[in-house]
Amino acid sequence: MKPVTRKSLLFLAAVLPVFSRQVLAQNPVQYVNPIIGTMKMGHTFPGATVPFGMVQLSPDTDTIPYAVNGRYHPDVYKYCAGYQYNDPTIVGFSHTHFSGTGHSDLGDFLVMPTQGKLQLNPGVATNPASGYRSAYSHANEKAEPAYYSVKLDDHNIQAELTATNRVGFHKYTFNNGGDAHIILDLMAGIYNYDEKNVWTFVRVENDTLITGYRQTNGWARTRYMYFAISFSKPIKSYGYSSDHRNVYGGFWRKFDLNHNFPEIAGKNIRTYFDFDVKAGEAIQMKLAISPVSTQGALANMKAEVPHWNFNQVKAEGQALWNKELSKISINTIRESDKVNFYTSLYHTFLGPTTYMDVDGSYRGLDMNIHQAKGFTNYTTFSLWDTYRALHPFFNLIQPSKNADMVKSMLAHYDQSVHKALPVWSHHANENWCMIGYHSVSVIADAILKGATGIDAEKALEACVNSARWKNYDGLGWYMQLGYVPEDKNGSSVSKTLEYAYDDWCIAQLAKKLGKTDIYNEFIQRAGSWKNVYDKQTGFMRPRLSDGSFRDKFDPLDTHGQGFIEGNAWNYSLYVPHAPDTMIAWMGGKKNFARHLDSLFTMELPDKYFENTEDISRDGIIGNYVHGNEPSHHVVYLYNHTGQPKKTQKTVRMILDSMYRPLPEGLGGNDDCGQMSAWYLFSALGFYPVAPGADEYQLGSPLVKDATITLENGNTFTVETVNQGVKNVYVSKVEWNGVPLKTTAIRHSDILKGGKLKFYMSAK
Amino acid sequence: MKPVTRKSLLFLAAVLPVFSRQVLAQNPVQYVNPIIGTMKMGHTFPGATVPFGMVQLSPDTDTIPYAVNGRYHPDVYKYCAGYQYNDPTIVGFSHTHFSGTGHSDLGDFLVMPTQGKLQLNPGVATNPASGYRSAYSHANEKAEPAYYSVKLDDHNIQAELTATNRVGFHKYTFNNGGDAHIILDLMAGIYNYDEKNVWTFVRVENDTLITGYRQTNGWARTRYMYFAISFSKPIKSYGYSSDHRNVYGGFWRKFDLNHNFPEIAGKNIRTYFDFDVKAGEAIQMKLAISPVSTQGALANMKAEVPHWNFNQVKAEGQALWNKELSKISINTIRESDKVNFYTSLYHTFLGPTTYMDVDGSYRGLDMNIHQAKGFTNYTTFSLWDTYRALHPFFNLIQPSKNADMVKSMLAHYDQSVHKALPVWSHHANENWCMIGYHSVSVIADAILKGATGIDAEKALEACVNSARWKNYDGLGWYMQLGYVPEDKNGSSVSKTLEYAYDDWCIAQLAKKLGKTDIYNEFIQRAGSWKNVYDKQTGFMRPRLSDGSFRDKFDPLDTHGQGFIEGNAWNYSLYVPHAPDTMIAWMGGKKNFARHLDSLFTMELPDKYFENTEDISRDGIIGNYVHGNEPSHHVVYLYNHTGQPKKTQKTVRMILDSMYRPLPEGLGGNDDCGQMSAWYLFSALGFYPVAPGADEYQLGSPLVKDATITLENGNTFTVETVNQGVKNVYVSKVEWNGVPLKTTAIRHSDILKGGKLKFYMSAK
């Protein structure tokens, strides 16, 4: 257990006797520990942000280049969130981060305060004195929702960060007097391809106001981010370094461009701003961002932080968090479960992020500026991950925001030259990561669960067009043959299975809208999973375009077996929309349950996944991979075999082993909140096996009780009787006092409000 | 005499007997020969454009890189306009050009139709078959206002171009059937630094619509131009080449990115669009541009050319030209003078160019999108050149447009982080070329000559701030010492002289607005020219910061003598606002006249200017350099010596020798119309020696008569009696029948309308 966590727990222990349950529920911020997941695979960041905030202001401990001279650098994966808990130095604080992803980008506008001799390069971690970076200690680090502070040892500066939606607020207290520098490094960034920067542009508008932007070619191919900086104290002098050719053609001789020249542009610019400070003096800085323009950034700053009261911004940010986190109030067996629960809830609210200015304007896929009319435009859709539990969780806890996310996806569709919904999109770019067209799941699930304000006809059109795009990733073959042939397109089995599920979602939406033709087309496609099931081996198996199954086949291996980031053992179970048929095909309930038992208990040697970045030993139970997404529904399949007790027991085991209140506590990438959403559903006792269906499968709640305030004003309560660490089995479940006859509960029933009561037992 | 010119003259000879003078005046387009100036130093372009059009669609015969690996390429200077008459091949047709500049940029969106095997590189002029370029012949070339056509020999394609303000309209007639390609080369551009391209972005929106943009780092440091292309026929297939790293991170495997993939981005992209054509079939293409967005480009296209009628666009373009050119109708001694006159008038209306979308939005210096409220926003201000005669000419012929140009300069000032007016600005960038702050001359001249709608108080503020900017180009020293010291800042004498004149302009404006303090400050500064006058040598001479004149001094040499693009002989005469005092200081009228005689008759050996690009033998008379700007007022100084006959004789000599109706007819860069404006004023018989004064000095008109329709509805007429090629002397001048007692006429009198009658004689 690491210092910060221990500290949190000590803090908990200290305050617990004082507050009643109700008071605690009103201050869930205290249970959130943003450090959880920042070590190893979690890829979360510890910095300051508000719920769904555009600014996510966080320390970067290093940002290994993605590639140098075109060669991939293996360590880049570690730095998807810019911060690794074990690193000894902080390079600076940047304003945009992904939370929990397995691929990297962003890291815009890295700021670092220093003292003494100006150094305009970051230096190296083994010798922080070689650059502007600084050593720090976790003992001097504090991470809370909307607040982060750390002492920068090399410069003896106390750095404090808070944020509004679009503004990062920095407070640097200089313990020593003398020359102070604030560095704005426009070269720094996450996923630093050796040529990531395309252009940077900086204007010193006056002695306290800086504006500018950066264009990058990182994971997002054509990405712009604009900023406006306001300093609390006038700049004494400033300058920059650049590796670019002279910034003004042949006419640079007119000026001293190196000192106090207020227009700077080029490819790789680092700027610095000098101040005189007294010992103990604080310089504050607001940095607003905009996807549109520097005008937009400035307007965002004026609208959101028209003052210099750091504590007010922090308090308002934490109040926002308390408001969102208080949508669920819980009692738990152990206090550490509250930390896990509210930190998970916190992580689910870190994305998708707001992507528009205060006036509603935002950059579209076509690089034009669009206006979000009647909705908040969001970005960062890690859909292969988040369609599974995060968006379904939002349909329960954040239905209005989820509806806006759907509207954002439909805006993407409108702007798409392919007329396709997002696959993995961020910051006005489609990066095409992973597989499937899972936007359709998010859209169908939202509409079927009663989301309002979405043009359903248009949404269906977008789903159908996305699913009929023949040039997309083997889809033409799939439409022709009923499966993606491995000899034509890799990861063919994963694609076939996920397309089939997505098609089922489209069919459900079509049915709701009375579009029989579309329903018939897609419900037929939804059965395509059968085309890759190999009765002989009992696994889903890659098939060739001639109709035969591919010879070489190892169902344990994650590499080159027709799957993506998973092996046949895990991925073969991916028929979430037809589990009963699948189980029947796979030998019936009994055999299937035994198959699942093997999955959770057999041993998976390292060699089968060691080259797959997204899978690590920490996220594996037997051969079951919880640290990555494809099997997230699997534990609930026991319910379909008549052995729900195994679901119950295993869920509790996963909750305990895969989510620990530690820096290294997450066994896999949090993936923009998907991993956390799994925790939250499961801790509440149910899970959406097939988003798009009205149904949740029941598991075994971890909470003692939970009260969910629904957006429609109703209250949904989970209660347990005889809850305990060992009482993981459910002997009876009542819905509003009536015993349930199945292992499922309907979303539509939950919406009406009511009480779900679990009777727990140790057997 | 080259074919096109001969053809024009033959055409003239054929039509002249048929039309009456009045009819001719209504069709001045026929006299314009856009080929004039396209060979050697003129740097004009022959392509299609409307008056002050944003699109200037013209063939590029080559675009030598400005520099490769940072080393300057001497041939780049030839290609400022993209076209050199003697070149044997055409690379393609691009949509933006400077007219007559001595520095280069633009050349956006080069399009080339080809047939046969696709070649995606331009190839070399010595072997056009090595690339997409084509040989052509001037016999098959036709250049008119708003129309250009040429046969592309290698591909047997007839290319025709016309344009509206924001749309280039291409018509390509394929004489052979078969595979046709239209290439859009986003790498091509003028001033191609080896790294000029920053980013390019292309979307194939559907099978007839393409959108995209390009960002460049050329002469303009941070320049964006957007486009929308519409084809008259659906594309059969398309693709691109790129030297950039894979365009979609690691996820390119999903697609065939090389064929028919509709999103293309990267640094150096060349795209092609394939069609099947029948022999004789024409494909038409509209390419609209916008400084704002692809949305803007599309809106521009829809607003300006919502149809496919090439001939209509051409006819409307030529009607626009006839409207503008008909503001002056003339009779001349020789018909070739009409060609010179209307071609000069045409050249003066090629810039500044429109720089905003149809909805008034445009990109500002701060890269934000601004709205031009109540004015047309213009760009390309080559002010060191154009303040002398072009803007004064606009105050006579185009006062409303000139007022909008002033408003555009003030908008630049508002957006400037330096709070400075433009020096040499284009496309939302200040390039800082040349010296002075001559915006103040343009502004003062406009306001003092009655321009309406300009906020004069604000204009004065902008002038004063620009003139008090201490960090600008020696200005701090000038303000401190009364001159720019050569040891602190080069070209010090030129700067001192031009600052002094500019300051006089500010003083005039301040006086008009009753700002006595400002008047006093700047009228005092206006005398600074005296501080660099060396009585010993009789020349303006570089002075050091210790007050002494610099030792080494050669008044003939253009290099390193304290002047820019001129020698002391020419530049010493630059006190346009105080010629009488200057003449007194320089030895009195008689001596000064003798000095001028020497200037026009002495010999200037090549070595004194051979490394100065902007001066060539073709533009020199004796030691007088007409091919560059600093001496443009000099011939009118004879008037101040009591010897106006020498002004008269020499003006006519310059008109005849420096302006010839030939491709090589211009003895120097036309410099965005400044050279042409000199011609027009002088051909009409007067010239603005000191813009900012209400006065013109009289010369010797070349026209037989001229009728100028003023914007205020009045008519100003120049008439001659006994005009003839040899009758270059003026024996008497009458203003509305009253003989003039001085050699000057007032602008304010001209505005009232009236007749200026010159009595000509051979002696």
Query: Average of pLDDT values for B101-115?
Result: 96
Residue of B nearest to A66 (CA): B249
In this structure, what are the phi and psi dihedrals at residue B388, rounded to the nearest 5 degrees?
-70, -50
Beta partners for A734? A739, A757
Are the beta carbons of B467 and B500 closer than 8 angstroms?
no
Residues 408-467 of B with CB under 8 A from A: 417-418, 431-433
Residue of B nearest to A209 (CA): B417
Interface probe for B, chosen from A80, A194, A248, A261 (most Cβ of B below 10 Å), is A248
Residues 210-269 of B with CB under 8 A from A: 211, 213, 215, 217-219, 221-222, 245, 247-249, 251, 253-256, 260-263, 265
Q: Read off the DSSP letter of residue A548.
A: P
Of the pLDDT bands very low, low, confident and very high (cuts 50, 70, 90), residue A73 is confident
- Chain A residues close to B294, C-beta within 8 Å: 366-368
Q: How far apart are CA A635 and CA A642, in angstroms?
A: 13
Largest CA distance in chain A: 85
Contact A251 B432 (CB under 8 A): yes
Element holding B40 (H helix, E strand): none
For residue B194, count CB atoms less than 10 angstroms from its CB and return exposed for 0-12, middle for 13-18, buried for 19 or more: middle
pLDDT digits (tens, 9 = 90+) for A512-538: 999 999 999 999 999 999 999 999 999
Find where tokens 């349930």 sit. Answer: A740
User: In chain A, pLDDT over 90 holds for what percent of residues?
Assistant: 88
Are the beta carbons of A539 and A494 closer than 8 angstroms?
no
Please give the pLDDT value at position B6.
43
Nearest to B215 among A199, A417, A432 (CB): A199
Nearest to A251 among B294, B433, B471 (CB): B433
pLDDT digits (tens, 9 = 90+) for A251-265: 556 788 888 999 999
Calculated CA dihedral for residues B389, B393, B395, B401, nearest 10 degrees: -110
pLDDT digits (tens, 9 = 90+) for A164-198: 999 999 999 999 999 999 999 999 999 876 678 99
Q: How far apart are CA B427 and CA B289, in angstroms?
A: 12
Query: Average of pLDDT values for B387-414?
Result: 98
Which residues are within 8 A (CB) of B176 and not within 5 positions of it... i.e. 6 or more apart? B115, B156, B279
Contact B221 A254 (CB under 8 A): no
Contact A471 B265 (CB under 8 A): no
Q: How far apart are CA A430 and CA A424, in angstroms?
A: 6
Mean of pLDDT over chain A: 93
Query: B195: closest CA among B174, B221, B173?
Result: B221
Calculated CA dihedral for residues A169, A175, A180, A182, nearest 10 degrees: -20
**Encoded tokens for A563:** 């799957």
Query: Average of pLDDT values for A583-598?
Result: 97
Q: How far apart are CA B593 and CA B595, in angstroms?
A: 5
Q: How far apart are CA A674 and CA A660, in angstroms?
A: 16
**Encoded tokens for B682:** 């002088």
Please indicate if any CB of chain B lies within 8 Å of the CB of A193.
yes
Which residues are within 8 A (CB) of B565 and not within 5 positions of it... i.e. 6 or more apart? B558, B612, B614, B615, B628, B629, B630
Are the beta carbons of A63 and A82 closer than 8 angstroms?
yes
Query: B567: closest CA among B630, B650, B656?
Result: B630
In this structure, what are the phi and psi dihedrals at residue A171, rounded to the nearest 5 degrees?
-130, 115
Please give the pLDDT value at position A699.
98
Query: Average of pLDDT values for A67-92?
Result: 88
Contact A251 B213 (CB under 8 A): no
Query: Average of pLDDT values for A717-727?
Result: 98
Q: How large is the ipTM? A: 0.94
Mean of pLDDT over chain B: 93
Strands A703-709, A328-332: pairing is antiparallel
**Encoded tokens for A151:** 């002492």
Nearest to B471 among A70, A255, A490 (CB): A255
- Chain B residues close to A193, C-beta within 8 Å: 245
Residue A236 confidence (pLDDT) above 70? yes
Please state the separation of Cα B414 from the chain's center in Å: 24
Query: A125: closest CA among A115, A114, A136, A117?
Result: A136
Q: How far apart are CA B747 and CA B686, in angstroms?
A: 11
pLDDT digits (tens, 9 = 90+) for A701-712: 999 999 999 999
User: In chain B, pLDDT over 90 holds for what percent of residues?
Assistant: 88
Are the beta carbons of A46 and A87 closer than 8 angstroms?
no
Residue of B nearest to A471 (CA): B255
Find where tokens 């095909």 sit. Answer: A585
pLDDT digits (tens, 9 = 90+) for B521-538: 999 999 999 999 999 999
Query: Average of pLDDT values for B243-261?
Result: 68
Q: How far apart are CA A359 and CA A347, in angstroms?
A: 27
Please indicate if any CB of chain A lies within 8 Å of the CB of B490.
yes
- Chain B residues close to A199, C-beta within 8 Å: 198-199, 215, 217, 222
pLDDT digits (tens, 9 = 90+) for B572-595: 999 999 999 999 999 999 999 999
* Of residues B244 and A307, more confidently modeled: A307
Query: Average of pLDDT values for B273-277?
Result: 98
Quick check: pTM over 0.80? yes
pLDDT digits (tens, 9 = 90+) for A126-151: 999 999 999 999 999 999 999 999 99
Element holding A169 (H helix, E strand): strand A167-174
Please give the pLDDT value at position A23.
42
Residue of A nearest to B415 (CA): A205
Which residues are within 8 A (CB) of A595 and not within 5 positions of it... i.e. 6 or more apart? A538, A586, A587
Element holding A230 (H helix, E strand): strand A223-231
Residues 276-315 of A with CB under 8 A from B: 293-295
Give the side-chain half-sphere CA count within 13 A for B275.
27
Q: How far apart are CA B91 and CA B188, in angstroms?
A: 9
Contact A295 B368 (CB under 8 A): yes
- Chain B residues close to A256, C-beta within 8 Å: 471
Interface probe for B, chosen from A69, A221, A371 (most Cβ of B below 10 Å), is A221
Are the beta carbons of A645 and A652 closer than 8 angstroms?
no
Element holding B667 (H helix, E strand): none
Residue A64 confidence (pLDDT) above 50? yes
- What type of residue sits at position B598? S
Q: How far apart are CA A47 and CA A34, in angstroms?
A: 7
Q: How far apart are CA B346 and CA B338, in angstroms?
A: 12
pLDDT digits (tens, 9 = 90+) for A81-93: 999 999 999 999 9
Residue B15 confidence (pLDDT) above 80? no
